[in-house]
Structures are given as C-alpha cells and as structure tokens.
Structure 1
C-alpha cells in the first residue's frame, strides 16, 4: 500500500511538472529530463510511469479534461435553468484555467501536431455548450430568432479566445472579462428573466417575461 501511494504521488508530480514545462515551453521544445528534474525524480522513474513525452502529454490532457467535466457538473448542480448553468460554467472554466496549471497546459496542448488523438478539451467544451443551448431552446429560454447553433458558436469562440489570449495576458481570464461578455450577450440571448452574472452566481435577476 505504501509503495502504491508513493507511486501515485510520483505520477502526480510528473503530471504537474509536465504541465508546467509544456505550458512554459510548448510540447516540442520540452524535454523529459527537464520535466523529471522539476518533479524531483530520476529519468528512470519518469519512464516507469510514462513511456514517452506523448504519453505524459496525454496524461496532462486527460487530467485537465476531468477538471473541465467537474466544472460542468458543478455548474449543472442548481435548478436555475440551462442558461444559468452556462454562465456559471464559463466563470468556473476561466477560474480553473487561471489557477490550475494542469488545465492551462491541457488547453495549450490541444491540437499539437504529432500527438495522435488525445482528449480534446476544446471539443468537449464545444459539445457541452451546444447541448446546453439546445436544451435552453427546448425549455423556452432563447429569444425569438436566436439559433442555438449560432449562440454556441459565439460562446465557444469567445471562451476559447479568452483561453488563448490568457496564455500571454492573465487579465483575459479575469471575472471582469467574463462579466463583460455576458452583459453584452445575455440581453440578446433571452427575453426571460436573465441569469445573474458575476462569479457564476446561481441567483437570478428577475425581469419581465416578454
């Protein structure tokens, strides 16, 4: 049991070290020796857990993907409707990208040539946004003339844009940026009581239904 716990800690340290190096240097320039040094383990220990740099990158993306799925689960935990869940999830996702190096590196690794087909965080996010907006339309939340597909394209493009820009300027990942986006988009999306913005609050700002 002690040996298993030590192995699990080593593996986690390598994933975090890999995330830090991948986020800073990129996938191609990153070396396994620099990752093992950062993790405080030998090259042999690294190869015991991961047969290649690609395998380590896959593990980083897989852990980041689970974190994104947890953000979505948390956002769906209330009873305030699909649009509120969508708003809350964008705040949660930006917060995780800003604060969690593994999530940040997982997004940075998306689409890196030569990696095969690792889990795609951006694709996962896109599918969930599309599904949530289709549900919003079915539940009568979207304003007349609003296409869930077009709305999803806007949300996905802006959130991925924040993520990419945030790799160089962390202010793009701030709550203020997310609030500004939703203050602009929500009045166009819905004519019903609009979900509250600001930290992904589950409270709703009541208004007159058209």
Structure 2
C-alpha cells in the first residue's frame, strides 16, 4: 500500500509539473527536461507513468475533464450553469485547468489531439440539456445537441478573450453576460427566474465540492504496484 500511495503522489506531482510547464511554455516549446526539473523526479519515474510528452499532455487534459463535475441539482438548468461557472472559476484559480485550456486551444500543437476536451464538454452539456428538456425546463424549439455546440464554442471564445484582455480576471463577468444572452432563448422564463447567475456562483459551487470532499475518505486509485529506478523512454 505504501508503494501504491507513493506512486499516486509521484504521478500527481509529475502532472502538476507538466501543467505548469505547458501553461507557461505551450506544448511545442515545453520539454521533458523542464518537466523533470519542475517535478524533481527521475526520468525513470516519469516514464514509468507517462510514455511521452503527448501522453503527459493527454493526462493534463484528462485531469481538466474530471474538474467539470458538480453536485447534482433538481433543476438541471441550474446544474448546467454550475458547470459553466465552476469552469470559469477554476480558470482563475486552478493551474491544471488553465494548462488544459492552453493545450486545447494551442494551434501550434499540430501533433497533439486537442479535440477531446471539446467533445467531452459538448457531451456533458448535451446530456444536461437533454435532462432539462425531459423535465420541461426548455423552450419547445430547442435541440440539445445543437445548443450544446453553440454554448461550448461561445465559452471557448469568451474565455480566450478574457485571457488575452485580463488574464481571466474578468471571466466570471463575461460568462455571466454570455449566459444572460443565451439562456432566454433556450430556457422557459419561469425556470430562468429561479436560476442563480451570479458572478460568484462558481466559487460557491467549488466551496460545496470541497466541503463534501472533506467529509468523505479518499478513494485510492489502482496504480502499478511499484516504480522502477530508471526506464528508457518509449519512442
């Protein structure tokens, strides 16, 4: 168990270091040597967990995806808003999410498959809209799949503009404005009247997630049982 715990910690240390380097340098300019230096681990430890720089980048993107989870709400439209506002808040506070977004929008990373985060986020939004439709929260003309594409694409543009203009400092305000423009064309006015669209909603959702996590024992991952002292890179 001690070896497994150490392996989990080492993997997370490497991912956190990779996120920092990718956010600062971008995918093309980032090097394994920089990530090793930032992580303070051996080359063998890194290659035990990740086969290549591409594998590291995909690990960062996967971590970003896991941070889209919010508490389930009776009103699915509120849950959708919570997902969007939480993501906006994490872009201000979470280096892993910032790195994931930097990677997913990095047009110079030609060899990196950047489609995953967009496709998975569209899937999450589509499902929430479908559930909201089943509960009678949406206007009759709404097509969940189409609306999901529009919302995710719009968020990508808004967050890119916020990053360029204010380094994400004004992102909650911009996202609130986006939702105030989009949701009235999608959601019944009677439902929309009860939705919390405040700029601090993302921070409140994260606080509730942290409180719930603190009350539960951690669920261990199942990594390989040990780490070699050294291993040659693949490829």
- TM-score computed with the length of structure 1 as normaliser: 0.79
Bigger relative CO (Cα 8 Å, ≥ 6 apart): 2
Counterpart position of 1:17: 17
SS state at 1:142 partner? coil
SS state at 1:171 partner? coil
Please state if 1:85 is matched with 2:79. yes
- Unaligned stretches of 5+ residues in structure 2: 206-235
Aligned-pair CA distance for 1:51: 2.5
Q: Pick from 175, 180, 202: which aligns with 1:178? A: 175
Counterpart position of 1:138: 134
Q: 1:41 to 1:78 in 2, by over 3 A?
A: same
Q: 1:51 to 1:144 in 2, by over 3 A?
A: closer
Give the Cα–Cα distance (whole angstroms) in 2 for the partners of residues 170 and 144 of structure 1. Answer: 38
Aligned-pair CA distance for 1:21: 0.7
Alignment RMSD: 2.6
SS state at 1:88 partner? helix
> Does structure 1 conserve the Cα–Cα contact (< 8 Å) formed by 2:85 and 2:172?
yes
SS state at 1:132 partner? helix
> Does structure 2 conserve the Cα–Cα contact (< 8 Å) formed by 1:86 and 1:132?
yes
Q: How does 1:81-160 map to 2 (within 5 A)?
A: 81-110=75-104, 112-115=109-112, 117=113, 120-160=116-156
Give the Cα–Cα distance (whole angstroms) in 1 for the partners of residues 170 and 45 of structure 2. Answer: 35
Please state if 1:163 is matched with 2:159. yes
Q: Deviations over 1:149-178 (max 9, x none)?
A: 443233112212233334433336632222
> Does structure 1 conserve the Cα–Cα contact (< 8 Å) formed by 2:159 and 2:168?
no
Aligned-pair CA distance for 1:181: 1.8
Aligned-pair CA distance for 1:144: 4.2
Counterpart position of 2:55: 55
Aligned-pair CA distance for 1:52: 1.6
Counterpart position of 1:26: 26
> Does structure 2 conserve the Cα–Cα contact (< 8 Å) formed by 1:134 and 1:148?
yes
Give the Cα–Cα distance (whole angstroms) in 2 for the partners of residues 58 and 86 of structure 1. Answer: 25
Aligned-pair CA distance for 1:192: 2.1
